[in-house]
Amino acid sequence: MEKETLFCSLSLLSYFDYDKTDVSVEVMLKDIVNDQQLRLDYAAMPEFEGNIKMLEELDGSDYRDIRVKACRNDNANSGVVFYVFADALYDYYVFRGSEGLDSVNHRTGWQDWADNVRMFRDEPTLQQLIALHEFYKIEKKRPFYLAGHSKGGNLALFIALAMREDLMDLLAGVYTYNAPGITKSMMKLYTQRANDASFQALLHIYENENDTVSSFFEHLVPPCYYQSSLSCTNFTQLYHNHNLYAIRFENGRLVPTANKSAVPRLVHIFLYNFFAGLKKEKLEKILAVCDDYFNSNLSMQELYKVMIYHISNYISLFDDISYDEIKTITFQDLIERRKTRHLSEKLAEDIGRLHIQELTQRFVDGYEAMMKGKAGELQQFIRENNQKIIQMIQSIHQGKEEQAEANEDTLA
């Protein structure tokens, strides 16, 4: 089995609580798939069905020679969870990614996400430090791999970057999936190792073409992009694309692709432009608001509504959209709404000062970044966009003329 497939499967298994050790991963896989209570408890969770289906499609015999060696589960406190798997030659440290509030069995709250937003600070987060500490507590005599999905992949990268020099000879490789990168300040702390070619050769960073989480922060090496099995035209699909079950496999391997799709590229541009120049005081205010969200103990659905409500206090794009519609509204629709709203505001100020080219440039800039290499489509978009604006202006002019005539008739 290819390493990229092996660590993808182990990363998925790390999301399930399993208290047996010294059993094969084949047995672990069978126990989880056949756990009917687990299915009853978490059937309503949006990602559960996809995760279970992916596990059901795995061939257990491929994992017969890998055993569950240990598990560190601090989910109730820090949120850090990782498994140690082992075969005849290697140990595999596989870190669990971020989880939302467990409203069923209350295994975890919002610790993972509270820690995620703190990654914007110029210092290691609590989860990163605890993961490193727990990693050190396990004696190491054999070569080992580090792996994980999402925040789990970030923890694997951090440990590889920050661990003691005497352990480097035992590090066989690092495999991450849809993981956020490392902040620039963290890169500066470990510049020598981060820039070491022999260290970089051990890193294998995989990203779904439609994933946005991996757009956060800096990459130690260029990532390998793979195709998604899902579309990405609205918020619900965007969420699912981050999960491992969205990976497209052919012949047991991830299917490569050249670039990220449009939406993740736009997110990357936004994050860079927004956070790059943000003052520390402003950043702390933003993090404080996030802490309020995560300390509320609201469910994901409830939290989503609160966040949308707060966003609506600052922008009016969502005024006439219900919560259910927000989940499925397409990104193209949002862009069109933004253009229409901006145009209306501009016309309301002074229609005589409207310049079509100037107006559309705000949106063209984003599309140039998103559609790089697709000049034909971009030019077509510009032409269609300008035509819509011209038609709208003509309609407004016509409306004003009709209103003026009506006023004259009234006066007459």
Q: Do the beta carbons of residue 151 and residue 180 sit within 8 Å? A: yes
Alpha-carbon gap, residue 340 to 345, rounded angstroms:
9
Q: Which of 241, 269, 297 is the last residue of a domain?
A: 269
Do residue 48 and residue 145 come from a single domain?
A: yes
Q: In sequence order, which ranges of 125-224 are alpha helices (DSSP H)? A: 126-137, 151-162, 184-189, 191-194, 197-200
In a domain, 263, yes or no: yes
> Is the residue at 308 inside a domain?
no
Q: Is residue 283 included in any domain, yes or no?
A: no
Alpha-carbon gap, residue 288 to 207, rounded angstroms: 30
How many C-alpha atoms does 335 have within 13 Å on its Cβ side?
Answer: 18
d(CA 66, CA 26): 8
pLDDT single digits (tens) 223-275: 999 999 998 877 778 888 989 999 999 888 899 999 888 777 776 766 666 66
**Within this chain, do residues 129 and 35 fall inside the same structural domain, yes or no?**
yes
Token duo for residue 63:
């994992």
Q: Is residue 19 part of a domain?
A: yes
User: Are residues 258 and 362 both part of a single domain?
Assistant: no
276 sits in which H/E element? helix 262-276
For 90-130, the DSSP string reads -EEEEE-------TTT----SHHHHHHHGGGSSS--HHHHH
Task: Give the model confidence (pLDDT) of 86-110 as tens digits.
Answer: 999 999 999 998 775 455 554 555 5
201 and 93 together in one domain: yes
| Mean pLDDT to the nearest integer, 54-66 | 94
Same domain, 350 and 257: no
More confident residue, 62 or 357: 62
Count of residues in the chain: 412
Question: 231: which strand partners?
Answer: none
**What is the domain extent for residue 67?**
3-269
| pLDDT value at residue 4 | 93
Q: Which residue has the tokens 């609580």?
A: 17
pLDDT band at 357 (very low <50, low <70, confident <90, very high): very low
Q: Answer with the residue of higher pLDDT: 402 or 349.
A: 402
Indicate if 229 and 343 belong to the same structural domain: no
Q: Does 314 have pLDDT greater than 50? A: no
**Is the same domain home to 211 and 116?**
yes
Helices (H), 146-234: 151-162, 184-189, 191-194, 197-200
Residues 38-61, mean pLDDT to the nearest whole number: 88
Q: What is the pTM of this model?
A: 0.72
Other beta carbons within 10 Å of 193: 18
* Position 131 in a domain: yes
Boundary-marking domain end, from 253, 269, 285 = 269
Q: How far apart are CA 162 and CA 210, in angstroms?
A: 29
Look at residues 269, 292, 317 and tell me which one is the last residue of a structural domain.
269
Percent of the chain whose pLDDT exceeds 70: 59
Residue 224 domain-assigned?
yes
- φ, ψ of residue 45 to 5 degrees: the values are -70, 135
pLDDT of residue 108: 55
Quick: pLDDT tens for 274-302: 665 666 776 666 666 666 655 655 555 55
Does a structural domain hold residue 318? no
CATH of residue 18's domain is 3.40.50
* Residue 300 lies inside a defined structural domain of this protein: no
Helix (H) or strand (E) holding 405: helix 375-411
Q: Please state, in angstroms and rounded to a whole number, the distance separating the CA atoms of residues 169 and 380.
A: 55
* Closest by Cα among 304, 392, 382 to 346: 392
The answer to whether residues 112 and 30 belong to one domain is: yes
CA dist 73 and 77 (Å) reads 9
**What is the torsion angle, in degrees rounded to the nearest 10, for the CA atoms of residue 262, residue 211, residue 190 and residue 3?**
-120
* Residue 261 shares a structural domain with residue 405: no
Single out the residue of 180, 175, 177 nearest to residue 93, CA to CA. Answer: 175
Query: Is the pLDDT at 354 greater than 60, yes or no?
Result: no
221 burial class (0-12, 13-18, 19+ CB within 10 angstroms)?
Answer: middle
134 shares its domain with 216? yes
Pair 343, 262 in one domain: no
Asked if residue 226 and residue 80 are part of one domain, the reply reads yes
The tokens describing 77, both together, are: 């406190």
Task: State the pLDDT confidence band at 30, using cuts at 50, 70 and 90.
Answer: very high
pLDDT at position 331: 61
Average pLDDT over residues 166-187: 91
> Distances from the Cα of 108 to the Cαs of 78, 80, 114, in angstroms?
9, 10, 12
- Top pLDDT among 123 and 286 is at 123
CB 178 within 8 A of CB 192: no
pLDDT at 369 over 50: no
Q: Which residue has better confidence, 59 or 190?
A: 59
- On whether the CB atoms of residues 101 and 110 are closer than 8 A, the answer is yes
At 252, which amino acid appears? G
The residues facing 85 across adjacent strands are: 68, 92
> Which residues, other chains included, contact 378 with Cβ-Cβ below 8 Å and sequence gap of 6+?
364, 367, 368, 371
The domain total for the chain is 2
Lowest mean pLDDT among 97-106, 127-136, 171-180, 198-207: 97-106
